[in-house]
Amino acid sequence: MLLLLLITTAGFNYLVDPYGLFGTARISGFNEKKPTANTRVRVVKPYQVTRVQPHALIIGNSRPEMGLDPDHECWPVEKRPVYSLTTPGASVYMQMRQTQHALASTPAKLMIVGVDFLDFLVAPENHADPYQWPPAVREFEHRLSVTATGQDNDTYWRQSIRDYVTTVLSLDTLEDSLQTIASQGNINASNQTEWGFNPARDYLDIIHSEGQAVLFRQKNDQVISTLLGKNWSIYHAGTRWSRDFEALKQLMETSKKHSAELILFINPYHAQYLESIRQTGKWPLFEQWKRELVKLTDGYSHDVIWDFSGYNAYTTEAEPVDKKPADVMNWFWEPAHYRKELGDLMLNRMLGNDCPKDTVKLEFGSLISVANIEQHLTRQRAAAQAYVANNPQVITKIQKRVSQKRMDVTSQDGIQ
């Protein structure tokens, strides 16, 4: 009886495949949408990318995961299929290691890599020995086919067998399989496509019930609290080195080793996110980070980076102030996460083609390098000042949030 129950559970979980781990056919109305897959991306994506065998990769955290569509029409035929090897909350080191795994086991020859300011911040108490590289092995690395030094990973096959067996036999998976079937009629259900893309349509239910201003307020508070929480640097204490920059360097070296074209880009942020950086006094650090990025790429065959993080017609889009279901922004879900519609414009720019010809209505994004970085930063400062002058109510709101959060941080320090 127990054996029959296990076989039935395993067969059902395999057929529904709620996380996309097994690659079972997606059937409309049955298991096409994967509402719980976004909870298992760190387990599933290393196996998915090997199964898909992509010719191009998208690398980064949750921003490109929600914003850059691997199935966008502008991807050249020879670069397809494209897989989004993006992971919410992934450190630069994790992104680098996942890239090593993907390039060692797939024919990918193009990588589009998103970099994010907050991922490179180093706390003052975070000491690191620059000669200790790579760092100690972390749990997620057992699912990667190669080690940080490029050798075959002895733990990979044991871990993969364990993941497949425990997933197919798990009662948690059974519960998620049932939820998968039940959610197929919800057009806004959370999902993870077979190419690793998160359409983020579950944001729409929140927006329709509470309004998009709630998402903006929550994210602004989170960013402000993070930026005020510590005396951040981009280097480890007493050095001009950080693990994050070293990890990015190793990612670039990996692409060079495998003769893969590399395109780096800085994610776009809504103007309110940028103002959170400015009003917390972290703008000089933001600029220093960009200078270090262009220095790092200087000398490589692809020594430029796309910067989408400035003030422009897209990033200064007005935030809806009421809760009408129709009031959904065109380009952003909240200040940190951009929509696919904006990601499509970015792909059009980075891929350098005219597909579709009516997509880019305004110039969006700038190529930055050692040669033009100072002029670029000067233009961004001027654009910031123009935004401040034209949006006094928004600036006042951000300043009030910063003042309140600064008081909260001071109070917490006093208690400690």
* 308-343 pLDDT tens trace: 999 999 999 998 776 566 578 999 999 999 999 999
Sort strands 56-60 and 110-115 into parallel, antiparallel or unpaired: parallel
* 112 and 57 Cβ atoms separated by less than 8 Å: yes
**What is the pTM for the complete model shown?**
0.94
Distance in angstroms (rounded) separating the CA atoms of residues 169 and 172: 9
Question: Would the pLDDT of 412 be above 70?
Answer: no
Question: Would the pLDDT of 410 be above 70?
Answer: no
Read off the pLDDT of residues 93-114 as tens digits, 9 standing for 90 and up. Answer: 999 999 999 999 999 999 999 9
pLDDT at 323: 59
Name the average pLDDT for the chain: 92
Distance in angstroms (rounded) separating the CA atoms of residues 277 and 290: 14
Mean pLDDT of 129-157: 93
Interaxial angle between packed helices 283-297 and 373-390, expressed in degrees from 0 to 180 and rounded to the nearest 10: 150
Tokens read off for 321: 């102030």
Distance in angstroms (rounded) separating the CA atoms of residues 9 and 171: 8
Tokens read off for 43: 């387990």
Q: What is the dihedral of CA 315, 317, 321, 323, to 10 degrees?
A: -90
- CA-based nearest residue to 42, from 163, 123, 134, 161: 163
Question: Would the pLDDT of 173 be above 60?
Answer: yes
Residue type, 277: I
pLDDT at 198: 97
pLDDT at 415: 42
Task: Write down the residue that tokens 């129950």 correspond to.
Answer: 5
* 56 and 79 Cβ atoms separated by less than 8 Å: yes
Question: Would the pLDDT of 414 be above 50?
Answer: no
Question: Would the pLDDT of 125 be above 90?
Answer: no
Question: Would the pLDDT of 211 be above 90?
Answer: no
Q: What's phi and psi for 293, nearest 5 deg? A: -65, -45
DSSP 3-state of 111: strand
pLDDT at 128: 79
Distance in angstroms (rounded) separating the CA atoms of residues 277 and 31: 42
Q: Which residue has the higher pLDDT, 352 or 145?
A: 145
Mean pLDDT of 183-204: 95
pLDDT at 247: 96
Residue type, 317: E
- Number of other residues whose CB lies within 10 A of the CB of residue 118: 14
Question: Would the pLDDT of 147 be above 80?
Answer: yes
Domains contained in the chain, CATH given: 45-138+214-409 (3.40.50)
CA distances from 20 to 61, 82, 124, 280 (A): 19, 16, 40, 41
- CA-based nearest residue to 70, from 408, 344, 270: 344
The model's confidence at residue 238, banded by pLDDT at 50, 70 and 90, is confident
CA contacts within 13 A on the Cβ side of 393: 3
pLDDT at 353: 67
Q: What percent of the chain has pLDDT over 90?
A: 80
Q: What percent of the chain has pLDDT over 70?
A: 93
pLDDT at 358: 53
Question: Would the pLDDT of 303 be above 90?
Answer: no
DSSP 240-305: S--HHHHHHHHHHHHHHHTT-EEEEEEPP--HHHHHHHHHTT-HHHHHHHHHHHHHHHTTSSS--E
Question: Would the pLDDT of 416 be above 50?
Answer: no
Mean pLDDT of 360-371: 81
Question: Would the pLDDT of 302 be above 70?
Answer: no
pLDDT at 409: 67
pLDDT at 319: 84
